[in-house]
Amino acid sequence: MIDEDDGWAGAVVLAGAAARTRPALFAAMAEALALPAYLGNTWDALADVLRDRLDAGPLTLLVTDAGQLLADEPTDQYALLLALLDDLATTAPHPLRVVLRDAAPS
């Protein structure tokens, strides 16, 4: 449960435990962010729909149990996700804030 006193009111919450694989991540992101049904299961497709989302306004994504995020994938997949989010955070028209609660997979 997210406590609004923590400053996360309005954040979109993504459970890392529900996103241990790449397909599960895409499904969890699509559900949490109400992304379009045409979202493909590629990093480019995810970047495109997130950029479209950021055209509409700022986004705070709070990942709980982040240590489990993509834990069942090779570590390069986690690195690709972080690179994608970093690119969006630095180039999108509105701010993207990503908060990872818990340690990242090692």
Domains parsed from the chain with CATH numbers:
12-100 (3.30.370.10)
Whether 99 and 61 have beta carbons less than 8 Å apart is answered as yes
Tokens 């990242």 belong to: 104
Whether residue 82 is predicted with pLDDT greater than 90 in this model: the reply is yes
Instruction: Give me the half-sphere count of Cα atoms (radius 13 Å) on the Cβ side of residue 18.
Output: 12
Rounded percentage of the chain residues whose pLDDT exceeds 70: 88
User: Which of the two residues, 16 and 8, has the higher pLDDT score?
Assistant: 16
What is the residue-averaged pLDDT of the chain? 87
Per-residue confidence band for 5, with pLDDT thresholds at 50, 70 and 90: very low
Q: What is the mean pLDDT of residues 23-27?
A: 94
Helical packing angle, 43-56 and 22-33, nearest 10°: 20
Whether residue 44 is predicted with pLDDT greater than 60 in this model: the reply is yes
Whether residue 4 is predicted with pLDDT greater than 80 in this model: the reply is no
Q: What is the mean pLDDT of residues 31-57?
A: 90
Per-residue confidence band for 38, with pLDDT thresholds at 50, 70 and 90: confident
